[in-house]
Amino acid sequence: MSLKPPVGPQDHVQGNPEAPIELVEYGDFECPFCGQAYYSVKALQAALGDDLRFAFRNFPLAQAHPHALPAAQAAEAAGLQGRFWEMHDVLFEHQDMLDQPNLFGFAAALGLDMERFGRDFASPEVAAKIRADFLSGARSGVNGTPTFFVNGERYDGSWAPQDFIAALSSLAGGVAVPP
Amino acid sequence: MALEAGKQAPHFTLNSTPDQKVSLTELRGRRVILAFYPADWSPVCSDQLPIYSELLPEFRRYGAEIMGISVDGVWCHAAFAKHRNLRFPLLADFEPKGEVARAYEVYRKKDGFSERALFVIDREGIIRWSYVSPIGINPGADGILEALESMEAKKS
């Protein structure tokens, strides 16, 4: 099960662009498992440092989670002002506060241009970006949230922090060892 | 082991609600996706079906209707669909229990429920793709989308 399309300029990416390990998450800001995985990814980033880069794609299960789509819109709208990751973090740290007044409150607290944020939040471009993320996930074999891809292949192992770090650092080791 | 591509899809008429029935022959001329799953409320099924719900516009773009099928009864389906906000029919393969799953060769007799199996049926009622997933693993939607795409290319 491989990632389609590969990570590209359309993606939000954190970490060393030359890192040997690329982690992609398909996530839903209202999904409680994604909320747990958020802290696992943070632990992984701390443990692997420059060996890891991380991209996040939207996979909102909008009919199961009524705030998932607006939260994704807020993250993408913040992204258009260069602040995707800050909004991503705020959303996962406040999963029980994702109604629209709070989303706009988060944007204001980040110091975003609110007129632009409001426009982008409701724009067809942002909706299309989220839908494109969702469809790429469906094509790539996403079967729940969160679903992770490591170096382009679906990762079906445990993402509990210790397991995740062990699984991915062995990969980093493998890459670093000369043939 | 699950009817394969090229076989005629066995006919069925099943209740989708207490007072509505769905019959495969009524859907002739449309593409049909049948998603057999073990049971309402099981954790894996609860992940699998909402993804299909989100993909309804995509399936419709290919002229396809999706239906879930399990051995649960109509009232159970109604509660499950409401709870998960599912927007496609769940059919009750309830009496005789598992008869349709047996016809598609995906019934697990010792368990009393069906495999987690997917069938994509063309406009003439021929199975064009089928897949049985390990029971605890959500198959996602990539196989369905690929099957629809290839059918679209062949106009089947």
Report CA-CA distances (Å) from B95 to B15, B20, B73, B109, B115. Answer: 10, 15, 9, 15, 18
Q: Where are the domains of chain A?
A: 12-176
Q: Which residues of B touch A (CB under 8 A)?
A: 47-48, 50-51, 53-55, 58, 84-87, 137-142, 145
Q: What is the pTM of this model?
A: 0.91
Average pLDDT on B9-38 reads 96
Q: Test B54 with A140 for CB contact under 8 angstroms.
A: no
User: pLDDT band for position A171 (50/70/90)?
Assistant: confident
Residues B70, B80 contacting (CB under 8 angstroms): no
Give tens-digit pLDDT for A114-154. 999 999 999 999 999 999 999 999 999 999 999 999 999 99
Average pLDDT, chain B: 95
Kindly write down the DSSP assignment for every residue of B79-101, as one continuous string: HHHHHHT--S-EEE-BTTBTHHH
A12-176: CATH superfamily: Glutaredoxin (3.40.30.10)
The minimal CB distance from B54 to the residues A61, A141, A144 is found for A61
The minimal CB distance from A61 to the residues B50, B140, B141 is found for B50
Residue A172 has pLDDT above 80, yes or no: no
Residue A47 has pLDDT above 60, yes or no: yes
Q: Which CATH architecture has domain B13-154?
A: 3-Layer(aba) Sandwich (3.40)
Q: How far apart are CA B34 and CA A161, in angstroms?
A: 37
- Cβ neighbours around A168 below 10 Å, total: 23
- Cβ neighbours around B136 below 10 Å, total: 10
Q: What is the pLDDT of residue B45?
A: 65
Ranges A133-147, A160-174, B124-138: which has the least confidence: A160-174
What is the ipTM metric for this complex? Answer: 0.87
